[in-house]
Amino acid sequence: MITRTTRFTRPAVHAAVFSAVLLAVPAAHAAPQEGYPVAEVTASDHDGNVPANTLDNDLGTRWSAHGDGAWIRYDLGTAKAVAAVAIAWRDGDVRTAYFDIETSQDGTTWVPAAVGLRSRPTLAQEPYDIPDVTTRYVRVVGHGNSSGNGWNSVTEVDVLGADAPGGGCTRPSDVLDLANWKITLPVDDPNRSGSQPLEVRQPQLDGYALDPWFVPAPDCAGVRFRNPVNGLTTQNSSYSRSELREMTDGGSASAAWSSTSGTHTMVVDQAINHLPNDKPHVVAGQIHDSDDDVAVFRLEGTKLYVTNGDTTHHKLITDNYALGTRFQAKFVVSGGQVKAYYNGVLQTTISRSFSGAYFKAGVYTQANCGNSSPCDSGNYGEVTIYGVTVTHS
């Protein structure tokens, strides 16, 4: 039996937090051994099957609430290192539950830890991994189940601790220096109204990961940026992204520099690993000014280009790029000119005067559900970044 301290408080009913549009099936994992003590468990609603039932070591009791976005929240009392949430689902052997896992430091501002999860075909309690995070609050957000009846029914939950420190990497900041970056990810931001992509800034970015969209590579040599065709898009864009945006002052302010003042350099050591179907195009590294992209590295099938504004085929670098091939992309901006290098060799010089500029790195998938099928998270672009540096002088 797992010992827990619990206290149930029923709050007022809350609206659904957000709707998952992406699917991710977590890897199999050994059965949970021990969960953290829970100071308090609350929920957005219940039908008489109360939240405290998920902490009574009895798979015959449950918490149930109807509707997309219904949630159950666990307060650990103080911040703890969390690596997984072990969950048992009612009727888990005959139907699939759809859900997300979120974490919060204060119980108000929530960060997605794993989105679009599906329960495994069992009545037993199963752990669902999340990137290691130090947090006080954890919640499970339900999106109904495969029967279509709209119910979210959980029989047992444990919040599991992270492995002992010292081995491997658990978050992108273990691999890359992200101090002067923010990231946009293709999932719904639970802290903004409407359907808007998630934006994570410093200091949260320093300990953040979101599987499978922004995680360290298995060998800890790089960081994987993955973006599906059905992801949420930023304003004025038809395509979604898992992409870093340059910042300054430790991530507190947006970078904005001029092509005619100083020298501005970005070097990205990267590999493009996967392309979307039908329209196999991705952008992997770009310069953006206050209005639009200035120049980008763009792969279309096997053809790798440097663009010049709207001229997408400005410079063909190679017509036989093989997915997974590691290469160095470099931009140097100075004196009203953009110089683009591939593996240290100058490819093109573009004369442009612009301001409000900043660098971007990651994957910007140039396909969506209107031109690429299937319309699901298994259809994506992916880039691994092994190193990225930005300098200004």
Weakest mean pLDDT among 33-37, 85-89, 198-202, 223-227: 33-37
Task: Give every CB contact of residue 149 below 8 A, 6+ residues apart in sequence.
Answer: none
Q: What is the CATH number of the domain that holds 134?
A: 2.60.120.260
Residue with structure tokens 């900043």? 358
Radius of gyration of the chain (CA): 22
What's residue 113's pLDDT? 87
What's residue 155's pLDDT? 97
Instruction: Identify whether residues 215 and 105 lie together within a single domain.
Output: no
Distances in Å between the Cα of 219 and the Cα atoms of 47, 216, 301, 384 are 46, 8, 27, 12
Instruction: Identify whether residues 157 and 181 lie together within a single domain.
Output: no
Cβ atoms within 10 Å, residue 146: 13
Task: Please check whether residue 10 lies inside any domain of the structure.
Answer: no
Q: pLDDT for 124-173, tens place per residue?
A: 898 888 888 889 999 999 999 999 999 999 999 999 987 534 346 889 99
Residue 32 has pLDDT above 90, yes or no: no
Q: Report the phi/psi class of residue 142: left, alpha or beta, with left for phi > 0 and alpha for psi in -120 to 50.
A: beta
What's residue 219's pLDDT? 83
Is this model's pTM higher than 0.75 or not?
Answer: no
Instruction: Identify whether residues 200 and 134 lie together within a single domain.
Output: no
Mean pLDDT across 83-94: 93
Residue 42 has pLDDT above 50, yes or no: yes
End residue of a domain, out of 161, 183, 204: 161
Instruction: Identify whether residues 132 and 266 lie together within a single domain.
Output: no
Q: What is the DSSP string of 184-220?
A: EEEEE-TTSSSS-EEEE-TTGGGG--BBTTEEE-TTS
Res. 70 pLDDT band, cuts 50 70 90 = very high
Mean pLDDT across 341-348: 96
Instruction: Identify whether residues 285 and 371 lie together within a single domain.
Output: yes
Task: Please check whether residue 262 lies inside any domain of the structure.
Answer: yes
Res. 34 pLDDT band, cuts 50 70 90 = low
Mean pLDDT across 340-359: 97
Instruction: Name which of 100, 101, 102, 105 is nearest 136 in CA terms.
Output: 105
Q: What is the CATH number of the domain that holds 266?
A: 2.60.120.200
Cβ atoms within 10 Å, residue 107: 13
Instruction: Give the chain's domain count.
Output: 2
Instruction: Identify whether residues 238 and 185 lie together within a single domain.
Output: yes
Q: pLDDT for 185-198, tens place per residue?
A: 999 988 888 889 99
End residue of a domain, out of 114, 129, 161: 161
What's residue 116's pLDDT? 82
What's residue 121's pLDDT? 86
What's residue 130's pLDDT? 84
Task: Please check whether residue 315 lies inside any domain of the structure.
Answer: yes
Task: Give every CB contact of residue 12 below 8 A, 6+ residues apart in sequence.
Answer: none
By percentage, how much of the chain surpasses pLDDT 90? 76
Give me the sign of the Cα torsion angle 238, 239, 240, 246. Answer: negative
Residue 311 has pLDDT above 60, yes or no: yes
| Partners of 345 in the β-ladder | 342
Cβ atoms within 10 Å, residue 389: 12
Task: Please check whether residue 201 lies inside any domain of the structure.
Answer: yes
Instruction: Identify whether residues 282 and 352 lie together within a single domain.
Output: yes
Distance CA(175)–CA(22), nearest Å, equals 26
What's residue 30's pLDDT? 35
Task: Please check whether residue 27 lies inside any domain of the structure.
Answer: no
What's residue 377's pLDDT? 93
Instruction: Identify whether residues 371 and 222 lie together within a single domain.
Output: yes
Mean pLDDT across 28-55: 82
Q: What is the DSSP string of 86-107?
A: EEEETTTTTS-EEEEEEEESSS
Distance CA(251)–CA(123), nearest Å, equals 45
By percentage, how much of the chain surpasses pLDDT 70? 90
End residue of a domain, out of 111, 140, 161: 161
> Is 142 in contact with 150 (CB distance < 8 Å)?
no
Evaluate the omega torsion of the peptide bond into residue 228 and state whether it is cis, within 30 degrees of 0: no
pLDDT, the chain, mean = 88
Instruction: Identify whether residues 251 and 380 lie together within a single domain.
Output: yes
For 238, the 3-state DSSP assignment is coil
Instruction: Identify whether residues 108 and 141 lie together within a single domain.
Output: yes
Residue with structure tokens 């470099």? 330
Instruction: Identify whether residues 336 and 232 lie together within a single domain.
Output: yes
Weakest mean pLDDT among 119-123, 135-139, 143-147, 383-387: 119-123
Burial 187-205 (b: 16+ CB within 10 A, else e): bbbbeeeeebbbebebeeb
Residue 176 has pLDDT above 90, yes or no: yes
What's residue 218's pLDDT? 84
What would the two tokens of residue 294 be?
Answer: 């200035």
Distances in Å between the Cα of 154 and the Cα atoms of 53, 63, 90, 132 are 9, 5, 6, 23
Task: Please check whether residue 117 lies inside any domain of the structure.
Answer: yes
Residue 19 has pLDDT above 80, yes or no: no
What's residue 236's pLDDT? 83
DSSP one-letter code for 26 = P
Distance CA(345)–CA(17), nearest Å, equals 49
What's residue 118's pLDDT? 87
Give me the sign of the Cα torsion angle 181, 182, 184, 185. Answer: positive
Give residue 113's domain range.
40-161
Alpha helices in the chain (DSSP H): none
Number of H helices, E strands in the chain: 0, 23
